[in-house]
Every structure is written in structure tokens, then in C-alpha cells.
Structure 1
Amino acid sequence: MTTVQRGAIAATIVGLSSMLAACGGGAAGSPTAQGAGSDSGQLRTLVVGVSPSTAALSVGVAQQQGMFKKHGLNVQLKTVQSGAEAIPQLLKGDLDVSLGDTVGTFNAASNGVALRAFAVATVAPSDPAKDFSAIMAKPGITTAADLSGRTIAVNQAGGSAELFAKAAIDKAGGDSSKVKVVELAFPQMVQAVQADRVDAAVLVEPFVAAGQAAGLTTVLRPQAAGIPGLASNLFVASAQEVAAKKSELTDFVAALNDASGFLTSNKTGAYAAAAAWTKQPLAKVEKTRLPTYPQDAGDLEPIKGIGPLMVKYGLLKQDPDLSQILAPVGS
């Protein structure tokens, strides 16, 4: 393995670690080793790495409601709390599938790491009212232009949150080149803004709700403002697994689509499922916004705009070869 590939894997590990931590809590023991068990019969097995986050809620619903079994799959869920666990296991074949970060996946695949995106987990909404992320600031900062010369906290420097935030700031009339970015963990951000250690922060639920309770101002909804319609989280597999298990991955996508249909048509059921999946009280979950789940997870078109955006903001040197990143399996 080359030095470049090691660096790309490390970048992906950081990105996936950040993404897994971003979207919800969950008590210990959530998805670990859940599967169809001994009654699986002729079901084909997929080992899927997820965290108990709302970004992976379609997987949770498909498992809870038997949608994977309907499509002939015995999906065994393995808790993955960090990319340090997920990426090596994907490359070794210990995991068949994992939730993935857009920026990390593009960086790794563009540098020769055999990682492929075959499905979309969540997409950025065009309606700010449906965006579960927010740039939140101290009083007095109310517009994108107000962020010039300010310090903004993100969970990972050079990661998806920074990319989406910069795109949103520029589209809203600000100048992202005049914004200083620092790295902080999500749980520290609200307090850091209150203590004037930073001027603003890029938050996701449930931390957005915490920021609102603390009196912070919502300046922008960065996914809706910056990347409407583009993928914000992915499902990834190694290139070897995509080739060996295309049929299983196709059925995995079909089950995700069933779950997405449930989540988008049944708000009450969606929040109940989210509470069960994240092991959070329903009353707390109902105060947050859920991500937007695609109608067709196998449609990879929402991923394609990420590469040019990364080039624009200096996260890639040139437009990526999408054949080395995307692996359509159908649905």
C-alpha cells in the first residue's frame, strides 16, 4: 500500500468517524450483531456496519420491519462507532457494507483506495425547514455576510460539514474565504459559542435543538442552502464486494427504498422508529428534525455534484474519475 493510499484511508477514517458521531446518540448495544439468526433459511447474508444514528435510520426500519427478509437478505448489523473500525473491515471483507461520508469516500477512492459508493443514505433537502443541520451563531450574527472575519467550528476540518457550510455561505452572499474554521466535537460547540471561543458552529441534530434551547441564532441551513439535492451520506462497500455480491447489494437497495417510503409517508412512525433506533426518549427525538431519505437509494446522480464542489474548495486537485467511486447496482 502506498503512502498516498494510507493517507487517503486515514482521511476517510476521520470523515466516517465524524459522520458516525454526528447524527445521533444511542446507548451501548444498539445494532451490534443483530440479524435474522437461525431462521434465515435461504436468505443471503450481508454484514452491515452502522451506528445508531438517524443517518442510518432506513437500515434500522428495514431491519425492524422485516424489509430485508422480504428481499431475501439476512442482514447482520454490526455497531461501528468509528471509521477506524469500519474502513479496514470493509477492505478485508469483514464488513460487506458501511454507512459512509461523502467527502471521505471521494478522497479515498480518488487516491486509489478500493472503496465504492453504491447507494445514497441521505440527501440534502431544498427546503430549509427540512434541513437537520444549521450554522448557529451568537447574537448579532444573523446573515452569511456577518460571518466574514469570524471563526466557525466544524466537527472535522476539511470534511463534509465544512464543505457544505462554505458552499452555503457563498451562495447566501457571504465570503467563505474570509471565514476561519476550527475543529471541535459536536457536544462542545454550543458551549464554545456561548463562551465566545468561536463565533458560530456547524451543528446537526440533536445539537441543533440544544443550540436553539441555548438561545443561539440560526444563520443558515447549510445543506439546503449549499448543496440542495446532493448526497450527504452514502452506503459504501469495497470494490471486491461490489463485484462479488451485486445481487445482494441490489436487494439491499430495494429494502432501503421500502424503508424510505415508510419514513417519508408516516411522520409519527418515523419518529417512533428513530427513538427505537437511537435509544433516545421519543419526546426528545420529536423535537429534532430527521434527515431526508431518497426515494431511490440506488440513484447515484445526487453524488455526482460532490466532486466538482470539492475541487472548487480545494479538497480535491481535479475532477474525480467517477468510475472509481460510484458502483451502480440498481434497485
Structure 2
Amino acid sequence: MNITKHDRFTPIRTALAACAISALACLPGIASAQQKLTFAIPGIPPIFGGTIALVAEQQGFFKKHGVDVAVRAFETGAAASRAVATGEIAVAFSPTPLVVSQVSNSDVKLIGIYGMEHPDWLIGSTDPNATCASMKGAAVGVDSVGGARSIALKTMLMGSCKMKIEDVQEVALSSNGPAAMAAGQLKFGVLHIDDIPFIESQTKKPVKMVVKQLDSRPVDHYMMLVANKDKLAQNRDAYVRIIAALIDAQRFMRDPANAAKVAEAAKPTGRSADLAEKALKAYLAMEFWPDNTDGLGRKNIETLTQVMKKVGNIKQDKAPAPYERIADPSVWRDARALVKP
């Protein structure tokens, strides 16, 4: 068979043409970044802390950085982290106490790639005379038994009230505890700071802050954006781009001129525009969303890990996982390089 020079190069030209038509398919890193990825935020309705992901989606920051991301609310951060661990979804905001316990106890394939170091948890009450002592035997609203609010309750009871979790009755309500308190169905609940103005707007009475977690443990870690270790290794570029979008979203949220747009993005949380703007100011004041850092402070995470061992969330026969197994700050560093100074 005679093969001409033209014939020999035809397959090459065809392949190059295919690449030109579909360049993404010929560049694995970029192609993988274009896959539909799910970003889970905890709570139905979502907690206000997840607003940063809603802003990144609504303001087009994910698209700007070349990732196709859908933000989806999960009932709890625990449910979201399980979906990440099984590979069902790409990333999720999940409570750090839960993540370090899961990794230490079972070597679950989760790793933090971005974080929020400052917890806003508190135990609040509609009873103006409430104290630690008056909580004994009382019903306390949490998300789920063993979930983020439940773990926060346990640590606040032990740290500030010298009580055990068994001294109260946990009532699992997802993120609807504040609504139950506003309706007079509960006197106590584990709350976020944005829950307080909501309850007060409904009851027309002040909420008593019985315990604040930051008072009982100033060095702490609240929440991580977790990825599946294997998926991160396979498609790292996409995760870097997700973090780049969050960096842009945080900058957007810090600009007072954008407060109304942030409040609009926060609608899924159930907050009115007025309450959302008040919550935004409070969260920015405490640097809830990290400003030009990865939010994965070694001291914060290692301190929390030791607390989880002390309170029994890390099993007696298990050693706390090292920082390097829990967090990977390099993803944020690469994402920061994609974002303009």
C-alpha cells in the first residue's frame, strides 16, 4: 500500500482540528475544572456563614475562574461531609470538630482546603434569667445529635458550665432551632450570632447569651471547606479555582457598597434584607471569613484537636490526626496566585 505525505499527516491534522474545536478536552486540568461540581453549605435553611458561597455563585466568581459550581444546602454539615467523603459532591463547609474527629477515628478521606477560625456559637435563651444551672434537664435546640451545634453545646457545657452533654436534652431541629425559640417552643438553643436579631425581631424581647464559645475557648477553629483527598489529587486545578472564587467573594463582601447585593445573595438563609446586612457587619467585624489568609491556622486546628481528644470525640484508642493530615494550605496559596492583588 502506498501512503502519500498528505495521507500520513491527515490523522495529525484531524486531531489538531479536534483540539481547536474543543480545546478544553485536550487540556486535562482545564477540562476537569469545567465539570459540574456541587458545593454544599450546611443547614436548611442554610446558615449565614455559607453566604460566601452564595455570593461566589450569584456574582459569577466561580464562572470567572473557570469552574461550573452549583451551591446546594444540606441538612447538616455532617451530612455534607459524608457526601464529600463518598465522592457524591466536590466540597462542603463542615464543622472542624467533626472533621478532625472523623479523620482521627476512621481516617475518613477528608481534608480541609480553606477555613473559618472564629466560631460564633453561643447558648442563648429567651428566659432573661437563664444561667448554666437553669439548663440542667432542659431541652436545648441543636442541628442533630453529634452535629455541629451538638458538638458546640458539648464543649461549651464542659468549658463554661462544668456540665456534661447528658445533663441537658438535645432536640434535633437542623437549623430551625431559632424559629422554635421565636415561636416559644424552646427556651434554649445553640445559636449563631445572626440568630439573635431574628429571634428578637419575632419575640420583641432580648435574647440572653448564657455562654459564648469564644469566651470559653479563645483559640479555636469553627469550620472547614473539605474535599475528598483522592478527588483533590485527581482534579486539583478545579479545587484551586473554587478557592480563588471564594477569595474574590470575600473581597466583594468586605466592600460596604456591596452590602445590599450580599443581602440579596443571602436570601436562601431566610434572613430579611435588613437582618442580613446587620449580620454581615457582625461577621465581618469578627473576621469570620478569612481576609487574605487560608483560615487554616495550625495553632487553632491543633488546639481544637486536643480538645476533641479531651472531651471524648476522638476515641480513647485513637491518636489525634496530625495537622498535615487534616489541612492542606497549599491549595489556597495556589488560588491566591490566580487572584489579582
For the criterion TM > 0.5, the same-fold answer is yes
- Aligned letter for 2:321? D
What does 1:176-195 correspond to in 2, within 5 Å? 176-177=163-164, 179-185=167-173, 186-188=175-177, 191=180
What does 1:45-194 correspond to in 2, within 5 Å? 45=34, 47-51=37-41, 53-70=47-64, 72-82=65-75, 86-87=80-81, 89-110=83-104, 111-120=106-115, 122-124=116-118, 131=120, 133-144=121-132, 147=135, 150-169=138-157, 171-172=159-160, 174-177=161-164, 179-185=167-173, 186-188=175-177, 191=180
Residue 282, structure 1, aligned to residue 263, structure 2: no
Unmatched 5+ stretches in structure 1: 1-37, 126-130
Decide whether the 8 Å contact of 1:93 with 1:241 is kept in 2: yes
SS in 1 for 2:291: coil
Superimposed CA distance per residue, residues 240-290 of structure 1 (whole angstroms, 9 cap, x where no aligned partner):
012123333233323322322332x32452453133243454134235456
Superimposed CA distance per residue, residues 206-260 of structure 1 (whole angstroms, 9 cap, x where no aligned partner):
5422332322532246342244453322111111012123333233323322322
Decide whether the 8 Å contact of 1:143 with 1:219 is kept in 2: no
SS in 2 for 1:152: strand
Superimposed CA distance per residue, residues 145-180 of structure 1 (whole angstroms, 9 cap, x where no aligned partner):
6545655332223333233344445555x3223841
Partner residue of 1:6?
A: none
SS in 1 for 2:34: strand
Whole-angstrom CA distance in 1 between matches of 2:145 and 2:309:
16
Unmatched 5+ stretches in structure 2: 1-21, 334-341
Decide whether the 8 Å contact of 2:97 with 2:222 is kept in 1: no
Shift of residue 312 of structure 1?
2.0
Partner residue of 2:13?
A: none
Decide whether the 8 Å contact of 1:151 with 1:180 is kept in 2: yes
Select the residue among 298, 302, 305 that pairs with 1:304.
302
* Compared CA separation, residues 269 and 193, structure 1 to 2 (3 A): closer
Decide whether the 8 Å contact of 1:141 with 1:219 is kept in 2: no
SS in 1 for 2:103: helix
Range 99-108 or range 265-274, more displaced: 265-274
Select the residue among 199, 211, 227 that pairs with 1:211.
199
SS in 2 for 1:260: helix
Partner residue of 1:232?
A: 222
Decide whether the 8 Å contact of 1:101 with 1:160 is kept in 2: yes
Partner residue of 2:3?
A: none
Superimposed CA distance per residue, residues 104-125 of structure 1 (whole angstroms, 9 cap, x where no aligned partner):
32233221221222211x3326
Shift of residue 53 of structure 1?
4.3
Runs of 4+ residues over 6 Å off in structure 1: none
Whole-angstrom CA distance in 2 between matches of 1:86 and 1:155:
13
Partner residue of 1:320?
A: 320
Partner residue of 1:250?
A: 240
Instruction: Compare CA radii of gyration and give the structure with the larger one.
Output: 2
Superimposed CA distance per residue, residues 58-107 of structure 1 (whole angstroms, 9 cap, x where no aligned partner):
2222333343344x422321424346974565345442222222233223
Whole-angstrom CA distance in 2 between matches of 1:77 and 1:187:
23
Decide whether the 8 Å contact of 1:154 with 1:202 is kept in 2: yes
* Compared CA separation, residues 139 and 286, structure 1 to 2 (3 A): same
Whole-angstrom CA distance in 1 between matches of 2:81 and 2:53:
19
Higher share in helix: 2
What does 1:36-51 correspond to in 2, within 5 Å? 44-45=33-34, 47-51=37-41
Decide whether the 8 Å contact of 2:156 with 2:213 is kept in 1: yes
* Compared CA separation, residues 57 and 190, structure 1 to 2 (3 A): closer
Whole-angstrom CA distance in 2 between matches of 1:276 and 1:184:
27
Seq. identity, %: 20
Whole-angstrom CA distance in 2 between matches of 1:199 and 1:245:
47
Q: RMSD over aligned Cα, in angstroms?
A: 3.6
The alignment's TM-score, normalised by the length of structure 2, stands at: 0.67
Whole-angstrom CA distance in 2 between matches of 1:69 and 1:163:
35
Whole-angstrom CA distance in 2 between matches of 1:220 and 1:270:
30
Superimposed CA distance per residue, residues 7-48 of structure 1 (whole angstroms, 9 cap, x where no aligned partner):
xxxxxxxxxxxxxxxxxxxxxxxxxxxxxxx9x995723613
Whole-angstrom CA distance in 2 between matches of 1:98 and 1:56:
10
Whole-angstrom CA distance in 2 between matches of 1:90 and 1:229:
27
